[in-house]
Structures are given as structure tokens and as C-alpha cells.
Structure 1
Amino acid sequence: MDPAPAALIARIETFYDAVPRDVARAEEHGGLVLFVREDPGWPFYARPAPATTAPVSADDITTVRHRQRSLGLPEAFEWVHEQNPELQEVARAAGLRVRPAPLMVLDPDIRPDPVTFSDVPVRLVTPDTPDFVRDVAARRAVAAVGFSAAGTAPGDAGPQTRDAAVTELDVAALEEEAARITDGRRICVLAETPTAGALASGMAIRVGSVAEIAGVSTLPVARRQGLGAAVTAALARALRDGGTEVILLSAGSAEVARVYRRVGFRQVGTACLAEPAPSLPNPGSGGATGRRSRRRNPTAGE
């Protein structure tokens, strides 16, 4: 790992804090901020407050967990270890399971080309095409199938499974997707063939000059063919072309991190996700149990 300079970590922290704020209400609880969506979209998480100098305490975590349950939200916490190194032990002492993931940044001199990794075409999803609704549905269906069989191992799930996973999109979801793509806050891509359709997909979230690649997923039947790397490269290239200075992501495992290294990413830190440990009861009663955070999805298949 190449340790990131403090200035880079500070930019990443600012990005992570900014991502939810245009669609979520920020509630401060001691040293933590809980982001609560104002719409029915995928729920957010709690993370250390950027302006506080007080360390996060076990009491802060317990308070937020009670609040999350009262709102019917998953009990999820995220942070960068290098920014809050004490939080890992505090979270574990509070009964949470901490899952570290390599935090990786694209080398600033690299502008990757997707054709280096796969001959399957990768294209941008744009709202000004007649197939926009189909493309959004396909991207989400590929992600749903891919993340239900996480990792990089090949499997049987393919186009038929993807098509069965397609769900009808409401107008608000489509309008949000179109608006974010149009103003540059989101980039979405599909890797597809004329016969099989979408085989892999991914997206990037951008705030200012910093962006995170997330949700890169490949149908199990198409894995080990370079599609995950090609999708990542296409997203990174589009971000570079748009003037993005810092392009980051987090990998779900060492095996997945190797995919990203092929594209030009290097590890600069550790992203942490904490959820209730399965063997431990949640404090209090009722409400939702923890599940995967909305924002940071590791790659599902290469």
C-alpha cells in the first residue's frame, strides 16, 4: 500500500461527506452524522462528523443505532481508517462487525482504455436516447444479479436471470437518474453484445473534482473475461475526460483489488464498513438489522 498524503485523505473525506447531502438530511449525534433520505431511495449510513475534533464514542454508536432502528434504516457505519484509526476498536466494542476494504485511487497519469481488457463494447448510458429506460433497468438488473453472487467466480446466472430481475422503474427514479447524468454527478456504463445484451455494468458518483466508481458488476456467466476491468476503465476514462482529478473506489477483497490494479488503481488507505455482528443481538428491540451500505459496493465479478 502507498500511504496517501493527508491532503488526499482530506479530499476523500470531503467527498464522502458531500455525496449524501443533496438527497438526505444530516443528523448529528455526538461525533457521528447520520444521513436520512428524504425520498424512498436506497438508504444511507452514519459516518464521523467532518467538523468535530471529539473522537467517536461507543455511546455515539449506540445512540445512532437506536435512531436507525427507529427510522427503519440499516445499522451501517462507514469511515476511512487513516482519518479515524480509533473507530475500528470502538465499533467492535459496541458490538459491530468491521469489514475493511482496500481504498484505491487511480494514478493521475493514467487514462485507461476499456478495449485493453475486453473486446465487448462498453458504452455510456445517456438520457437523450430512446433506450434510456431500458438501459437503466438493465444496469440495475445486472447489478442485482451480480451482487447476489458476489466475488469473481463464474456461475450459471446469465441473460435470462438478468431479464427476470428487471423491475419497473418509477418516474421519480428515472428523472433522478437522467438529471444526475445530465449535470455530470453520475456516469453509468453498460458492456453489452448485440446477441446477449448487457453483461456488465457500473457507475460513478462525482462531486466537484472527486469521483467514486461503484457498483461494478458482471453476470456470473460472463466472468473471467475482463468485463469488470473494461467497465472500470470506461468509467475512469470518462471521468478523466470530464476533468475529474481524484478517482477512487474500494475493493471488496484482495482478488477484486487485483482487477482494479490492472486498470491503474493503487491502494492508499482502508475504507471501513461496520454493521451488527450476526452472532450478537442488536441493542433494544425491533427495527431493521444491518445490511450492505448504499454507496460503496465492491465489484461483483470480473
Structure 2
Amino acid sequence: MILLIIITITVPILLVVAFTTLFERQVMASMQRRMGPQTSGIGGLLQPFYDGLKLGVKEPILPELSASGAFSTAPMIAFILSQVSLSIIFISDSSYQGIILMALSSLAVYGVLLAGWASNSKYAFLGALRSVALMVSYELGFGAVLLSICLFLTDSTGMKSLNFADASPFVQAALLPLLLVFLICILAESKRIPFDLPEAEAELVAGFNVEYSSLGFALFFIAEYANLAILSAIASIYFLGGFSALKIITLLFGFVWVRGTLPRYRADSFMRLGWKALLPLSLALFSFYANFDLIF
């Protein structure tokens, strides 16, 4: 029974990640006026599975003088947290879903930090430190946005009790600033351009996962794209009137478009953005929505 539950949770997210990566590669190829994956099946549909097979058969290599136990554990932490987040959204019916997801997103940085420390590489360690700095800069604003939308539309943080679709057009328009801040936080949470500071290739080679290959790299890769899909689903549920595959694909296209058009923030620039713009704006919006009934 437990094995069936694990398979039920794991297989869908693996398929989502596989086709999300294919979708991103095809969109990026179209934006850059080049050919994307074409030869592996119809439209390159088999390319993600070939990539997964290639990583699966590679030999895992432990860096010299690395902490082998922590080095091997870090990718599993990231992968397991992404699976738990998925189960919280689609299986759990708790009124504390929002709070639990915030806690899980805060825990995800420990896998990255552990990977950077255990790799015995200055590039990996600097990438891990950047990931911690990134998380500290946006996490408070991210939490304030989640609490604002939940408490504004309902009296709990559960997703199934949201009544966004029944809200008036005025109320829906009032939530647009929250949506903007939330989308920025999604890019930071998933370490995507322009906030991919922990993996900046030009500065840190590949950041915290520079020493990983084989299944270790695959687990980090799956966790990253799974978190992006999960956060897109949360945005669809909270701000776009409910869960819908079309809405999630539209959000994913927007994130790919951002990757293809915007440059990367410097680390100090993002910290200024987080502490001097996102956090004050999020707290101001939280105060506004918490007293919305009194104001109007």
C-alpha cells in the first residue's frame, strides 16, 4: 500500500518534469530561432526520457575529500521535499496547507546548503551561500503574500476553501499587486533567471551542484522543475480561479519567456530588491488586505 502511494505521487511529477523540460527547450529554441529536440520521437517527445536514461546509467562520482554521506543525502532531501509538497497540494485537505507549504519551501534550502558544504568545492559552497542569501531576501515577502491571499478570501490557509471565482471583479482586480509579487517570488524560489544566483554559470560554473553527476544531478534537476510546476499550480489556485492545466502551462510559458529575455541580477542587486522593495511592499499589501473590510 505504501509503495503504491509512493508510485502514485512520484510518477506524475516525473512526467510533469519531463514534459516541462521539453516544453522549455522547444520554446527557447523558437525564441532563439533555432531547432529544438526533433529527432527523438515525434517532436522530440522521447528526448526527456533519453536524458533521464543517460543520467541513470552514469557512474556516480564522489569528489575527493568530500563528505560522502552528506554529499549523497543532499539531492534526496531536495527530491523528497518536492514530492511532499505535491502531496500536500493534491492529496491533503488540511486548512493549514499554505503554512505547511511555506515551511517546506523554507526547508528546501538545507539540501542546497548541505550539497555546497559536502562537495569540498569553493564554487559549490559559494552557490550554497548565495542560495541561503536568496532565500532570506524573499521568504518573508513570499509568506506575507500567501497569508494575504488566504486570509483575504477565506479564514484559513487551505486551498480547497478558496472562493476567488466568486469574488467581485473589484476584489479580483485588487489582488493583482499580490499576483505580481508572488510571481517574482516564484522565480526566486525556483532559482530561475533573473534570480538564478546559486547556479550562475558565468561566475560559479554550475553553483551548488557543480560536483554532481548521474542520479544526484538528476534528483536536483527534478526537484527544481517540480517546484516550478508546484508553484505555478499554487498561483493558478490562489490567483487565477482554480487549478487548470492551461493556466499552469501559460504561467510556465511566462517563466520561460523571462529566461529567454532578461539578464541575471547581481547578488547585491537582488538583496536590495528583496529587502527594500519586495518585503516593504508585501507587508504593506498584507496590512491593506487584512483591513480591507474596514477600509471598504
User: TM-score by structure 1 length?
Assistant: 0.24
Q: Which has the higher helix share?
A: 2
Higher relative contact order (CA closer than 8 Å, sequence separation 6+): 1
Q: Which has the higher strand share?
A: 1
